Structure 1
């Protein structure tokens, strides 16, 4: 629910900031929706994973970040990729396995990044990317940069050894690393009730001697202000922080998963808290979003996605003789 305090938080930030957050969320949602259609048409080989319902967290991080910051995204962080310089065309080239895509058509999935924009390529092993971005951030700091690292994980990742080892290392060496737990209540099909006994995953921060925070990951105002303040704090006073963002994935683990294990009542709760709808209501309450501006934004995004899909579909898949290219770096 949008409270007076939430609307005041929105109005206290430059209107352009909220427009950018909303645009990133809508852009990510529409790309995901088109990807679902392409998947059902049989145009995508392999898995298709969306972040529908979780866009606010990634958008908030993208907008709150600085150019030298580093990121380890997970599988539902499309808004981060878009916010750090990726384009819908690049995304569709990737998921359609085109030779022109970020991985040259070798991966039609979520395993891609852009080091020029500080986004590391994710791997599917839960928790493994936390130590990567922790070490990279540590190196940046030793080079005199004021970089902050951000690692996205799910609730299931907190049950892995890699999660503990990376957080412990970052805590001991005061690395400015924000680990965001996107708690969407299920690790694939395992509910949180079967994963841990603590009341909040953020409480685990105490064991590492760092600060733990909780925020509503579906409330764009709350998650943005929380992320911004934490990143500003650890940038000035280097040390890790743990943030648990409550959210819900509104589809299965991937498009292959019907997610019949999720109670409809739980989905209904989060449908009423859709982050895009919450942002629109809040911005209109703060008189930051005229109807015509919203309409134009939606039309521009739809047109951009249409162009991107047409272009990606017209491009070639990788040739067999390119199989060994890019496996090793040229000496």
Structure 2
């Protein structure tokens, strides 16, 4: 809940940083909305997945990061990709499977990343991202590079063996990695009540001898301050930290899912706690932005995203004779 203390926390953040946070959240939202539109127009082959309602979490990590940091995205981390250097045009090319997309048109989905941005391509076996990021950070540290890793997982991921093996490995070797659990109440259609018996997922941290911290995943100010403090700390005091961010996805698992299994009262609660709307109100209270400025920001971003979609739609899909390119290494 946004209290006077929260407004004061917002005001304590550098205004330029706070505006960057809001812009990135809005950019991710508008790109997601464009993806939904393209999906329902039949322009996207296969499923489409969005992070509407969860933008504050990956925005915080992107804004708080340094260039040498490494990331393992999950399903709903579009803001991370955009915050680390990907463009709306790059995302449109990816989801439309264009030859200039991150995967060269081989995947029109979320399994993409850019190593030059420090973002690994997402692995569908979700728990596997933690060990990949941990290994990457370990390698950079051995090269004398002060990298920090961030791996995103969902509440469902915490029930996988990969999750536990990777956390144990990171704890034993004091790898500076922040594992963010985006607890959005459902692993596809399975509610958290059917997934675990502990009160909070961070209660598991004690089993690895690491810190477990909770945060409001819809409170952009709290997320940014919390993630910034953790990343600064583990950069100089290397060790893993588990962060549970409570949130809610406001659409189905993908656009193929009508998510009727979610109680309407839960959706209503989180509609009232939309991270962008809450942020705009808090910024207005702190006199960092007014309604007219926010409307202008939305208009600017909508135009940018629409232009990116038009450009990607005008481009070619991969030629048939390139089908095997990248399957085998060149001789």
Residue of structure 1 in register with 2:125 after alignment: 125
Q: Structure 1: how far apart are the matches of 2:40 and 2:157?
A: 29
Unaligned runs of 5+ in 1: none
Residue of structure 1 in register with 2:140 after alignment: 140
Q: Secondary structure at the match of 2:125?
A: coil
Residue of structure 2 in register with 1:161 after alignment: 161
Can you list the C-alpha shifts for 1:273-310, whole angstroms capped at 9, x where unaligned?
00000110111100001333212211110110111011
Residue of structure 2 in register with 1:176 after alignment: 176
Q: Structure 1: how far apart are the matches of 2:109 and 2:324?
A: 19
Unaligned runs of 5+ in 2: none
Residue of structure 2 in register with 1:260 after alignment: 260
CA displacement at 1:123 relative to structure 2: 1.3
Moved over 6 A (4+): none
Q: Structure 2: how far apart are the matches of 1:137 and 1:287?
A: 39
Residue of structure 2 in register with 1:296 after alignment: 296
Q: Structure 2: how far apart are the matches of 1:329 and 1:12?
A: 51
CA displacement at 1:129 relative to structure 2: 1.0
Residues 211-222 of structure 1 correspond to what in structure 2 (within 5 A)? 211-222=211-222
Contact persistence 2:34–2:306 (CA under 8 A): no
CA displacement at 1:126 relative to structure 2: 2.2
Q: TM-score, normalised by structure 2?
A: 0.99
Can you list the C-alpha shifts for 1:1-41, whole angstroms capped at 9, x where unaligned?
21111111111111011111101111111111111111111
Q: Structure 1: how far apart are the matches of 2:216 and 2:12?
A: 19
CA displacement at 1:251 relative to structure 2: 0.5
Residue of structure 1 in register with 2:5 after alignment: 5
Q: Structure 2: how far apart are the matches of 1:269 and 1:307?
A: 34
Q: Structure 2: how far apart are the matches of 1:279 and 1:328?
A: 48
Residues 50-89 of structure 1 correspond to what in structure 2 (within 5 A)? 50-89=50-89
Residue of structure 1 in register with 2:201 after alignment: 201
Residue of structure 2 in register with 1:277 after alignment: 277
Residue of structure 1 in register with 2:108 after alignment: 108
Residue of structure 2 in register with 1:151 after alignment: 151
Residue of structure 2 in register with 1:318 after alignment: 318
Query: How many corresponding residue pairs?
Result: 331
Residue of structure 2 in register with 1:98 after alignment: 98
Tell me whether 287-296 or 122-131 shows the greater mean CA deviation.
Answer: 287-296
Tell me whether 318-327 or 81-90 shows the greater mean CA deviation.
Answer: 318-327
Q: Structure 2: how far apart are the matches of 1:328 and 1:64?
A: 37
Residue of structure 2 in register with 1:247 after alignment: 247
Q: Structure 2: how far apart are the matches of 1:275 and 1:330?
A: 47
Q: Structure 1: how far apart are the matches of 2:51 and 2:290?
A: 27
Tell me whether 108-117 or 319-328 shows the greater mean CA deviation.
Answer: 319-328
